[in-house]
Amino acid sequence: MRNAIAAAKRGRVVRVSLTAVLSIGVLAGCGTSDGPALTGAPGPALSTAPSRPAGSPDLGAAEEIAHGIDVPWGLAFLPGGDALIAERDTGRILRISAGRAPEQVYQVPGVVARGEGGLLGLAVSPQYAENQYVYAYFTAENDNRIIRFRPGGPPELLFDGIAKAGNHNGGRIAFGPDGMLYVGTGDAGQTARSQDPASPNGKILRLTPEGQPAQGNPNPGSPMYSLGHRNVQGLAWDRAGRLFAAEFGQNRFDEVNLIEPGRNYGWPAVEGNGGTDRGYTEPLVTWTTAEASPSGIAIAGDTMYVAALRGQRLWTVPVRDGTVGTPRDVLQDSYGRLRTVEVAPDGALWVTTSNTDGRGTIRPGDDRILRFPAR
């Protein structure tokens, strides 16, 4: 069943009040899983609180956890520290742990991998120890959608109707400190969608774990948390629970934004800075597209880590009290295109390369998963 967001009158775009209304359809799928169950890793339920590792990652001590992965995109940790990796083009979900070969644990049915689409973001339920749910965002035949599944069980459709295209599919999903599921979407190549309150595209959405609009959203009954985005592929929270998002620019500037409910971040009227006189929210950080093209972001302590695709480097950005310091780049040209970065339960930083995505130069062993231990 398709989700429909009722059309709403559009007024002047200035920190708009969101007026869309969503009706959700939930559908039980008929896919099957492959490989071992995901329940083998002991440990407490994964917390959605911002990570507070004992020390910062040692970026000079890279450890290759896995190689030969087909376009790794989503990355999420299970209780106990093992990781789940989404292969964009195959639709497979792999379980990865240090010292062991990757093993397939699920095959997401219905993935249509064309252009930038395919199996994208992953998230693990905050109550995984109790309910064993894993969430996935993927491109299907007609749209982008979100499912959840248990090991060995069929997928359950939670949210669909997010327009797809060869690019700008967004795809990052993550549970916030409030236990809600946040979703970064793209404009799917149609810039007007980002300012259209009747469209879920070009937005950050905030959903319940069941795929419904979360209570406390800017407009009751609407899934939209913020709008005016071009293509969001990075979501992370700081110690105080503030949400930051990475966003691809078009030809000039990429951004990291501090996301606040109901704010309008300007696309397509603004790329980078310069929109405050029209009521748009300014980015915290901008880079040229050649320096960044940011996808995943993560925050450990007082540092934000931003994975750069075209820029082929990892940006480190000091973050304190919702403000940022001067970015510094590391790992430039060391591993090629970097897609996803996440902080593990033990404080280590995990980074995925993205050289097999059709836009990179493939190096022997690509694509690989790297681990940088906490100091």
Residue-wise pLDDT for 54-79, tens only, equals 468 999 999 999 999 999 999 999 99
How high is the pLDDT of residue 55?
Answer: 67
What are the chain's domains? 26-36+60-372 (2.120.10.30)
Is the pLDDT at 47 greater than 80? The verdict is no
Which pLDDT score, from 0 to 100, does residue 99 have?
82
Task: Specify the pLDDT at position 151.
Answer: 87
Q: Quick one: pLDDT at residue 1? A: 36
- For the stretch 89-124, pLDDT in tens is 999 999 998 788 999 999 999 999 999 999 999 999
pLDDT digits (tens, 9 = 90+) for 207-259: 999 999 999 999 999 999 999 999 999 999 999 999 999 999 999 999 999 99
Paired strand residues for 286: 255
